[in-house]
Structure 1
Amino acid sequence: MSTDPTLIDETGPAPARAPMIDLTKAHGAARAYLVHCDRDGTGELSAASVRAVTDPVRGIGATGIIRLVLSSVLGKSGPAWFVSAVSPSGGPAVVSTGVLRVAAAYLHTSGEVSAGEGDTIALLSDAGRHYVTYRDGQYGITVGAWRGLGGTKTLDEGFNATVAVSGLDEPRPGLQLDVGATHTIVALESADELAGLDLSAPTRVEPATDGTGSLAFVVPLGERDVEVIGAGGAVTGSERIGAAQVRLATADGAELLGDDYAAAAATVAVRHWLGAEAAAEWVVLTPGGSQRVIVHPSRSVEVAEEIVFPATIAWKAQPAQPVQQA
């Protein structure tokens, strides 16, 4: 290529440069998002930019992009911030409980919203209003109320399903519960037994579910009393907390790093098997990370986790083209 300055045309307009935007990496249990705080709503990214930045080789890598816009800019009433999500393909994604936790954590840690211990952070999405609770450095959201299948008699018996999975020498009894979908929970005796499961192979569940729920294989690790520290730093009492190790999968042979609803169902099942005196709060350990699950007396279940923001990256991105009005 010639570098002769006489051959360079400096009379025309300079080529447009793609703007730089800040994207903040967010890590939760089994999730890695990029948060785009687009206060005035002018920085919507093109599908090509989304695909590039979420690519783990060419870009930063992420499960998707979470976009935060002031609701007033969009002409929406209610909570101050509107949340939307984009999948790595560049298309719209469901604003899941994981997305909402990350959105609330970002707004809280960045100072865009204030929340003290036990306070809720209100958010708005196309699905309506959402409330995320800040407690003990974690962000929790209610995933709904649990419901037993088959009536009181089935719950009293403790099992209503049979599960055959690769890695176990015979089918095991399971309990099917509805928490957003029908999940099947199987109790195992040890962490070694849990580790020996081959969840890449299809699992046979009887009765079969509609496929929207997950399988949860759980090993209860016990319960213990922990001290409760008040606002002044003094011990104000104690509470009982349980712990369980869980692996999650779909029936057709795909292991899941995490699933809020299945983790909630697994916790409800363990509490049911242990009896009325079982702890209401549990630490659930999955391959994707640790979550805190609280089963409330109303049967609603809250799933909470810590959100970590390791870095903010300036990315040269092509904005989406504005829609032309007819």
Structure 2
Amino acid sequence: MTDTHASLVGLRFSKGHGTGNDFVLVADPDGDHQISPEQVAYLCDRRRGIGGDGLIRAVRSKHLPEGQAVLAGNPDAEWFMDYRNGDGSLSEMCGNGVRVFVHFLIEQGLVVLHPGSELVIGTRGGVKVVARTEHGYRVDMGPWAFIFPESVAERGMDSLVDAAGLAVTRPALSVDMGNPHTVVALADADELAGTNLNEAPVVSPVPPHGTNVEFAVPAEPLVTDDVGHISMRVHERGVGETLSCGTGACAAAVATRFWAGSDAPDTWQVTVPGGTVGVRFFPGPDGREHVELSGPAVIVADGVLSPLFE
């Protein structure tokens, strides 16, 4: 066993998911466990490790420089979601992950949150306010923005995307949801199923920090009972295709709503391979339009890493 992996022996962990977007979760209230990118990749390996789209470390904000910066602006953000992609790289935020993170805090006895109550969470994508509901959690994801607004204003799109399985290059919109997304509209379910996301799509121009790429198909009809409906698949930075992406679902709703015009609704249902999440647009307290994400969160297992895990 290498020294790198030996330091993880005895580490307690949980495994959880939100609509199939799965995570290894570690409770580290006092910031004692410095998990390296190599260790994250090892733990998230689906054959040699526990397996997950990413790793979430629950640490009190005061023990991280990023968390201290969050506390300076919002002293209620006691807990920080230290999120890493499955390859070990840092990520700003994960919409499914933040729901699972809060559920993990509750299951570990680190917070008490009754249905209808809210919890303020620090992330690298800013402060997120999470409310517990009867069947899951809803998250104020904060304001959205186009990454290349000048291009959108001029052409109604800002980038081009090539993906395996699509015969021609497709126009797209890049959306900042606290992390970067590029959304492509496809014609129908057959195109969505035929897109090969084992290979990373090529985006031009690519946002400065890379991008997650969503392929979305609007329902026919698009709107039923004042609710818009989309089906979506996603290729995530540092991971590959995942069964779900919460911030990606929000970005897909942003783009589809923009394409649909001024009469498009503010409430959306986004179906991903792992289930369905809700997206709602509303006026935020900062005067900007915010996006709310809602959906389930599940903890499926708890464990301890053994000396034989390598």
Asked whether the two chains share a fold, i.e. TM above 0.5, the reply is yes
Residue 51 (structure 2) pairs with residue 61 (structure 1): yes
Q: Output one character per residue of 1:200-231: Cα deviation in whole Å (capped at 9) or x when no partner.
A: 45655555544622332211123333xxxxxx
Q: Is the 8 A contact 1:167 1:198 kept in 2?
A: yes
Judging changes above 3 Å, is the alpha-carbon distance between structure 1 residues 49 and 272 closer, same or farther for their aligned structure 2 residues? closer
User: Which of 92, 96, 116 is the aligned partner of 2:93?
Assistant: 96
Q: Which residue of 1 aligns with 2:117?
A: 119
Aligned match of 1:27 = 17
Match of 1:216 in 2: 214
2:248 maps to amino acid: A
2:258 to 268, 272, 280: 272
Q: Partner residue of 1:308?
A: 298
Of residues 230, 233, 239, the one that matches 1:247 is 233
Preserved contact between residue 267 and residue 279 of structure 2 (Cα < 8 Å): yes
Q: Is the 8 A contact 1:144 1:301 kept in 2?
A: yes
Q: Quote the Cα distance in structure 2 between the aligned partners of 1:136 and 1:249.
A: 30
Structure 2 unaligned runs (5+)?
1-7
Shift of residue 308, structure 1, vs aligned partner: 0.7
Q: Does 1:191 align with 2:177?
A: no
Post-superposition shift, 1:106? 1.7
State the distance in 2 between where 1:219 and 1:208 align.
22
Q: Which amino acid aligns with 1:108?
A: I
Q: Which structure has the greater CA radius of gyration?
A: 1
- State the 1:286 CA deviation: 2.6
CA 1:275–1:107 in structure 2 vs 1: closer, same or farther (change >3 Å)?
same
CA deviations on 1:35-85 (whole Å, 9 max, x unpaired) are 33355x4963776987775554455334454343567899x8744853354
Measure how far apart 1:134 and its partner are: 2.3
CA contact (8 A) 1:176 1:183 kept: yes
Local SS of the residue matching 2:79: strand
Amino acid across the alignment from 2:21: R
Could you report, residue by residue, the CA deviation over 1:102-155 in whole angstroms, capped at 9, with x for unpaired residues? 22112234554333444321235688754222235233334442234445x955
AA matched with 2:58: L
Contact 1:143 1:260 in 2 (8 A): no
For 2:236 and 2:40, the matched residues in 1 are separated by: 28
Q: Distance in 2 between matches of 1:253 and 1:37?
A: 22
Which consecutive residues of structure 1, in runs of 5 or more, have no partner in the other structure? 1-17, 226-239, 319-326
1:263 is aligned to: 249
Does the 8 Å CA contact 1:26/1:308 hold for their aligned counterparts?
yes
Query: Distance between the aligned counterparts of 1:34 and 1:161, measured in 2?
Result: 34
Aligned residues of 1:280 and 1:294 also touching (Cα < 8 A): yes
Letter in structure 1 aligned against 2:188: S
Distance 1:169 1:284, change over 3 A: same
- Structure in which a larger fraction of residues adopt helix: 2
- CA RMSD, 1 decimal: 4.4
Please say if residues 227 and 268 of structure 2, whose CA atoms lie closer than 8 Å, have aligned partners that are also in contact. yes
Instruction: Give 1:44's match in structure 2, choosing from 24, 33, 42.
Output: 33
Matches within 5 A, 1:122-201: 122-124=120-122, 129-148=127-146, 149-150=148-149, 154=152, 158-180=156-178, 183-200=181-198
Alpha-carbon shift at residue 275 of structure 1 (Å)? 2.8
Cα deviation for residue 20 of structure 1 reads 5.5
C-alpha contact (below 8 Å) 2:234/2:244 kept by paired residues: yes
Q: Which amino acid aligns with 2:298?
A: V
Taking structure 1 as reference, are residues 111 and 192 closer, same or farther at Cα in structure 2, changes over 3 Å only? same
Q: Residues 277 and 104 from structure 1, CA distance in 2 versus in 1: closer, same or farther, beyond 3 angstroms? A: same
Between the aligned partners of 2:41 and 2:231, the Cα distance in structure 1 is: 34
Aligned length: 284
TM-score, scaled relative to structure 2 = 0.68
